[in-house]
Structures are given as structure tokens and as C-alpha cells.
């Protein structure tokens, strides 16, 4: 198992580029199941989760052709399997996103429950209830969601989500594209990645309006065709590099990205003392050598502060001036990075769903363990400013969501290298 060895060496300085958004690419890859014709996707990030998705689609019979410049062509004209087995789904919860497209296009789906998921603990039950409202017959047995569409086609319906759910919105959005009649999704998620998915579906011939708001209306069509679509830039990767600049008192410009999808994060970075400037496809943060100021953060669904940036801001507050309170409202048990940061000398106390972070002047290098994707990122950026050497173990988590992270940090002057386990 690979590890990262990082030696803290002061301010990061320079330019990097943002990769395509993993959280956009995964549902859009699944949406290719809906099309009768090739779908070509550009700006696809090279990540483990993408590889897992392609393996799953390939096993179903989707023809895959890799192009240049991280483009791929997917053709679902000859799908032979409507089955998503546990051995692949357990690697990545987003595999549940094949459920809606399979049911809409082929009238049946047999999809494993995501690894470690009991119905109700995460909003898989919302996916099921929404598809049932559209006429699907669904049973959950032996760890699988077994679904059929009577008559071979789903029916339009009005679906109200009890809880805002990104993957639930995506699954039903894709299912509704081929349903008979009109579907209205109320209390829908508004994330930019959902807008990107909708725009790709519209290029395929779907009739969708209201994406980016809490009410999305879809008029089902009989068939969708192929298209070309570029995946949007990764706002979480962008934010992570900007936090790395703030935490190390440096200056970083991120290219091939967008400021309009990161407004809540940029506002908090300015509050922390960062000088933020933006252009059409770049964002720069310059601390001008100053230590960041601690900020209070509360995660909430988009357009509020994203839960996927919470760990990185905890790391920034750990070396900031003052005390910041970070409240996590989206996921329980998402403070596993706190224990590891405290091993590096941070002063963080947990009070339920709140981390109270009192900044210290210095962190110290230590062996630490990545516990999830964003926790991994927080440990890596913290190590950039820690005295001595930090060894980050179990970095397969970070490879799921960050493309070439050590190479990009090296471009900014970071002393980081990967070593085999």
C-alpha cells in the first residue's frame, strides 16, 4: 500500500490546474447507459473511482474506447447485463447511480447495495421511494436492489425528497429522462455537478428545466442519442489547493477552474485573510506571507459551505490565529481526521458535530493514517507546513479523488514523494 512522505518547507507558490470533477464524472459516466449511440466525454479525471466505474460499465457490455487528452467514448448499444455486482459496488458508493439509468432504458436493474450500507443510514431509501413513485417494482433481498418497470417503462411522477440528496437527485433525474410523461423533483439538490449532469442529458436530447434550483422538471422522451460533453472542473480539488496556499502563507493560482462554483469557500478564505483574485478560468489566493485567521464554518447543502471542504478548513484553522468552530451538519462521523491532526500537534476538541479548533504556531511531522478521501487531503496540506517529516499511510483514499496530487504539489514547491508500501 503506497504512502506519501512530506517534509514541511514553508509557503507554496506557483500554478496548478484543476482536473475534471469526480463528482460530476461519475453520474455522467452512468448516464451513458441511457443513450442509443456513442457518448464522448472530455476532461475525465484519471482516478481510481473512474476506473471502477469504467470496469462496472464494461462488465455490463458498454463498449469503451479511450481517446487522447483524457477523453473516452462509451457506447451502450449492446448492453448485455443489467447487474451491478457487490465486488465492484463495495469499492464505491456512487455505483448506485446505475440503478436509475438501467431501469429507465432496459426496464430492469439488479444493483448491489453500497458496501456497509443499511437502508436508511444513507439516502438509498430515497432513491428507492422515488423510483417506486415512478411505477417501479422494487424489492431488497440478499443485499441487492432488484427493480423492474412494469411494461418496460417508468412513468412520470412528482417526487418530494424528505432530505436533500445529491445522488438521489441524480438517479431520479436520469431515470425521468426516459420516463413516460412529466416528472417533477422537489427539494432537489442544487450542486453544480447536478447542473453538469443535466446539461449533458440535454445534449443527448433530454428535456429538463430548473436544474440548479430546488425544483427540477423533466419531460420524458422515448430515446436519447449520443453527444460530446466536457466534464466540469473539480471545485473541491480547486478549494483544496487554495486552502494549501492559505495554510502555508503562500500564493497559488489554480487554472482550468471556475470561481462561480466556489463562492462560499472563497468568501471564507477571504475572511481568513487571503487576497482572492479571479479570471474567466482561474482563481488565485495570495496570503502575502501572513498567517491565516481562524474562521467559523458550518457545512450545508449547496450553495452553502460544502462538507467536502470541511476537513481542509479544520487543517487551516489548526495553524491559524485564534479559535474557529467547524460544524458538520451533513454526515455523522466525519471528523476522523481530528485525531490524526492532533497527533501532529493541533489543538482540536470535538463537541458532538462541532470541532473547536484553536490555532497553534507550529505543527510537527508525524506518522498519520488517512481515513477517508477528504480527511486524506487535510493531512497532506497540514503536512506542507509541519516541522519535520510526515508519513501519510493508506493513501488509496486520496487516489480516489485527487489526480496526481504529489506532482501538482511538487509544482508549487512542496516536498512530497510517493513510496511503495
Cell reading at 118: 443499511
Cell reading at 5: 512522505
For residue 400, say if its preceding peptide bond is cis, omega within 30 degrees of 0: no
Q: What is the Cα–Cα distance from 252 to 411, expressed in whole angstroms?
A: 10
Q: Which long-range contacts (CB under 8 A, 24 or more apart) does 209-217 make?
A: 211/173, 213/188, 214/186, 214/187, 214/188, 214/190, 215/184, 215/185, 215/186, 215/188, 216/169, 216/173, 216/184, 216/185, 216/188, 217/182, 217/183, 217/184, 217/185
Q: Based on the residue annotation, tell me whether 227 is a catalytic residue of this protein.
A: no
Chain Cα centroid distance, residue 65 = 24
Pairing verdict, β 158-160 and 144-148:
unpaired
Q: Which of 30, 82, 117, 404 is catalytic?
A: 117
Contact 318/289 with Cβ under 8 angstroms? Answer: no
- Under 8 Å CB-to-CB from 66, ≥6 apart: which residues? 72
Strands in 39-42's sheet, in edge-to-edge order, are 63-66, 72-75, 39-42, 227-230
Q: Longest Cα pair distance anywhere in the chain, in angstroms? A: 66
Number of H helices, E strands in the chain: 14, 24
Contact 287/215 with Cβ under 8 angstroms? Answer: no
Return the active site residues: 117
Amino acid at each position: 500500500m503506497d504512502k506519501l512522505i512530506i517534509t514541511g518547507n514553508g509557503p507554496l507558490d506557483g500554478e496548478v490546474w484543476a482536473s475534471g470533477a469526480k463528482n460530476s464524472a461519475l453520474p455522467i459516466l452512468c448516464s451513458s447507459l441511457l443513450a442509443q449511440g456513442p457518448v464522448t466525454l472530455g476532461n475525465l479525471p484519471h482516478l481510481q473511482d473512474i476506473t471502477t466505474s469504467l470496469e462496472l460499465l464494461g462488465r455490463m457490455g458498454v463498449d469503451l474506447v479511450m481517446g487522447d487528452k483524457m477523453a473516452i467514448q462509451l457506447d451502450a448499444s449492446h448492453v448485455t447485463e443489467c447487474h451491478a455486482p457487490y465486488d465492484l459496488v463495495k469499492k464505491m458508493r456512487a455505483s448506485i447511480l446505475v440503478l436509475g439509468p438501467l431501469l429507465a432504458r432496459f426496464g430492469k436493474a439488479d444493483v448491489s447495495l453500497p458496501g456497509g450500507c443499511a437502508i436508511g443510514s444513507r439516502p438509498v431509501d430515497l432513491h428507492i421511494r422515488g423510483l417506486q413513485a415512478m411505477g417501479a417494482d422494487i424489492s431488497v433481498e440478499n443485499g441487492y436492489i432488484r427493480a423492474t418497470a412494469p411494461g418496460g417503462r417508468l412513468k412520470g411522477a412528482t417526487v418530494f425528497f424528505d432530505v436533500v440528496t445529491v445522488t438521489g437527485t441524480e438517479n431520479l433525474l436520469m431515470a425521468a429522462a426516459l420516463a413516460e410523461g412529466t416528472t417533477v423533483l422537489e427539494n432537489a439538490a442544487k450542486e453544480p455537478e447536478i447542473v453538469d449532469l443535466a446539461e449533458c442529458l440535454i445534449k443527448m436530447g433530454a428535456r429538463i428545466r430548473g436544474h440548479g434550483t430546488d425544483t427540477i422538471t423533466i419531460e420524458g422522451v422515448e430515446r436519447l442519442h449520443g453527444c460530446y460533453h466536457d466534464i466540469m472542473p473539480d471545485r473541491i480539488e480547486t478549494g483544496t489547493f487554495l486552502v494549501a496556499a492559505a495554510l502555508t502563507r503562500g500564493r497559488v493560482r489554480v487554472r482550468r477552474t471556475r470561481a462561480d462554483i466556489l463562492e462560499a469557500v472563497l468568501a471564507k478564505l477571504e475572511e481568513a485573510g487571503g487576497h482572492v483574485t479571479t479570471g474567466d478560468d482561474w482563481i488565485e489566493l495570495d496570503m502575502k506571507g501572513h498567517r491565516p485567521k481562524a474562521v467559523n464554518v458550518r457545512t450545508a447543502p449547496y450553495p452553502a459551505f460544502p462538507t467536502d471542504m470541511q476537513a481542509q478548513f479544520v487543517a487551516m484553522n489548526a495553524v491559524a490565529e485564534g479559535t474557529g468552530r467547524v460544524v458538520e451538519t451533513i454526515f455523522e462521523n466525519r471528523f476522523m481526521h481530528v485525531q490524526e491532526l492532533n497527533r501532529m500537534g493541533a489543538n482540536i476538541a470535538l463537541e458532538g458535530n462541532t470541532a473547536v479548533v484553536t490555532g497553534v504556531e507550529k505543527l510537527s511531522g508525524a506518522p498519520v493514517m488517512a481515513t477517508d478521501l477528504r480527511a486524506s487531503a487535510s493531512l497532506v496540506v497540514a503536512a506542507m507546513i509541519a516541522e519535520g517529516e510526515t508519513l501519510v499511510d493508506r493513501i488509496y483514499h486520496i487516489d480516489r479523488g485527487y489526480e496526481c496530487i504529489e506532482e501538482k504539489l511538487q509544482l508549487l514547491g512542496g516536498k512530497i514523494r510517493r513510496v511503495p508500501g
